[in-house]
Amino acid sequence: MKDSKTKLKIKPLGNNVVVEPIKDDKVTKSGIVIPETLSEETPQKGVIVSLGEGRLLKDGKRYTFSVKVGDRVVFKKYAPTEFEIDDTKYLIIEEKDILGVLD
């Protein structure tokens, strides 16, 4: 994960957030690694690295996000759009597809 001082080269628009995915491979008691890709319907996890400006509401104000940069989140598996910058994988996702914030 990039440290918080690294400037990301993309700013999401509207109600979108940029997430850096967290690998979550499972290891059995015998030491066998089961890649996350085998559990098809499992939600994904990641860290929010950038927020859009929020969608414009009818009254002219901007929507306020319920998440912030640095939050570890769980989101729907097939919701994000994947892209890469400087050999680091990132995801763009709408805030509505975030299921929760991890403690």
Residue 97: phi, psi to the nearest 5? -90, 0
Mean pLDDT in residue range 4-19: 81
Q: Provide the whole-model pTM.
A: 0.75
Cα dihedral 66→68→71→76 (10° resolution): 50
Per-residue pLDDT of 13-59, as tens digits, reads 999 999 999 876 666 777 776 665 555 555 689 999 999 999 889 99
- Structural domains of the chain ordered from first start: 16-23+32-101 (2.30.33.40)
In whole angstroms, what is the distance from residue 100 CA to residue 84 CA?
A: 24
In whole angstroms, what is the distance from residue 80 CA to residue 91 CA?
A: 6
